[in-house]
Structure 1
């Protein structure tokens, strides 16, 4: 995912991120590190507020040290054309997380409707949405005061009714014709969210899809998710330091993992060839930039 953002950075003018299961907001902050570098390191900006909002026991930096993600080294030496505007839709049903992220959002990006902040030529509009996401619209019980990163619809203690929507319904309601990045992390409910994104995915209105498969929390196998996405003409890869293509290259060992981070790109889109070249380079043991010369070409073009 990081390699993809480096190479696509100068291609974005406007971008939309739909972050389903936004939690502490670090995924979107990580993407903004590349799309809106004029603000500085977004992950660190959020962390400065999270150290106050979250108790130390709840990993203010993120359980995977997400707050330390930075694009500084990746973008060094590149002449970056700033993205004009980025809309982040942070969908999170936990009142605890939503309150914490809203505090950081207000101070860093301003109110998206009335006073969005612009820095380095980029306007960031960070929208907070109180909702859970599945494959239907309605209500369900959710642990609304949950401060950790494993909150889900499977919980039974400390729950209260929350609204539920689907990706298809959400994009229609908010008039979002296209998503540059659709990220899903719902602690075992990702297959249901994928099902509720059927029309969005079928019409390739999400260029990049990122989701997490948690084998021990879902009744849907990773292979079933990949087959579903292949039918919708998405190629999927394991999101790891080295790329592993899973679509058309299934290895039974993938099913042995307790959880898997996956990213997919729509076939026929502008990214398909680039990500395939990255995968080939990874297979050959070379970095994608060494293999394609994109970093050099990008810096020479600006």
Structure 2
């Protein structure tokens, strides 16, 4: 089954993405990488000799999510913004089983294509789950993790699903309220408008994401920093903080903030790690 609700919806989201790519704020290469899971679309920006940094976006999104941050990131790093497979970007629609090593083999193929032995990862939500899975399975390929509202650490809150279903019964107004509450943004926000468009045309992944056990988190040997919203409607951020700190990570909870995290606190972490020589190409 296609990940889109209709061919017209797929075309609409693709056109929106192409518009965003035309606004990519720095010189870049658009690369289509062959992988075991199908073609993967990657935008490469920044000096070729700079430390490598892989960007993994959130669910229902694509690399356009990073447009506001690319100028500051590309000053310091060779940035590889990867469209996650099975998401509404320009990569293959493949969705391997989450309890397999196929996502790890997919990311490994992407790094191999660019000749990157090890890279730091900057991620959002779903991208954090994928980066953690990769770091646990391939610790030698990950030099640092910067995680924004990661999933797979604390339990997903059941209440937000029930609330979303009830609000959906109220039509457009209810759906807008649901999306705004889920991501923690005003109902009139452009982010909410975009997510409403996506949800009208795209089939989100269903089923819970596997939660990483303590033994698995113990295999994270690289520097790890995470930031999460204290008022996240989807994820138990307090548990995320507790479990990551037990594994040696540094974690900030942002008060009064939901799943959409403002600011660039992770940039300071990544720059510090790079300046200490803890990650290289």
Q: TM-score range by the shorter chain?
A: 0.3 to 0.5
TM-score of the superposed pair, with normalisation by structure 1: 0.31
What is the TM-score with the length of structure 2 in the denominator?
Answer: 0.32
The structure where strand makes up a greater share of residues is: 1
